[in-house]
Amino acid sequence: MRAVEKIAASLRDKGLKLTPQRRLIIEILSKDRSHPTVEDVYKQVVEVMPEVSRTTVYNTIREMSSLGEIVEVQDLSDGGIRYDTCAESHHHFFCISCRTLRDVELKMPHAAEFSDDLEGCEIVREQMTIYGICPSCRDAAKKAGKN
């Protein structure tokens, strides 16, 4: 539960309080590697604390997002913004067929090395999203194509 402590400390730094609701939301977010929407998180929250409101989940996630503790990931326009704890920087592969998003580890040099357009910019984060067809969808398409 390292991540939770880190985020809790960050909250305190800003004079914000660590309530049971927030603690739970943070725990869920840092365990869930599936890039959940707010609604996904809410569903998990109410399993443990049924009386928590959606608003609290929205507020908490928004606050942590503005604190930089979690990040929004590419919206796939399937119901809501998705979030990701950014503990370790990583990138994403999105299958345009089954519409799933999965993590990809890329040992890649920094973008600034490949561009003059970033002169004078302070770079905080780099996020690559690779779009394509995952192996299982590809196999399915191949099979279907044999008709």
Q: Using CB under 7 A, list all residues that contact DNA.
A: 11, 15-22, 37-39, 49, 51-56, 58-60, 62, 77, 79-81
Hunting for tokens 């690559």 — which residue is that?
128
Give me the amino acid identity at 19: T
Residue span binding a copy of itself (CB under 8 A) among the ranges 22-30, 33-41, 45-53, 111-119: 111-119
Q: Among residues 10, 21, 100, 127, which is the contact residue for a copy of itself, using CB under 8 A?
A: 127
Residue closer to DNA, measured from CB, 52 or 106? 52
CB within 8 A of 16, min separation 6: which ones?
63
108 binds, among DNA, a copy of itself, none (CB under 5 to 8 A by kind): a copy of itself
CB within 8 A of 119, min separation 6: which ones?
none
User: What number of other Cβ atoms are within 10 A of residue 45's Cβ?
Assistant: 22
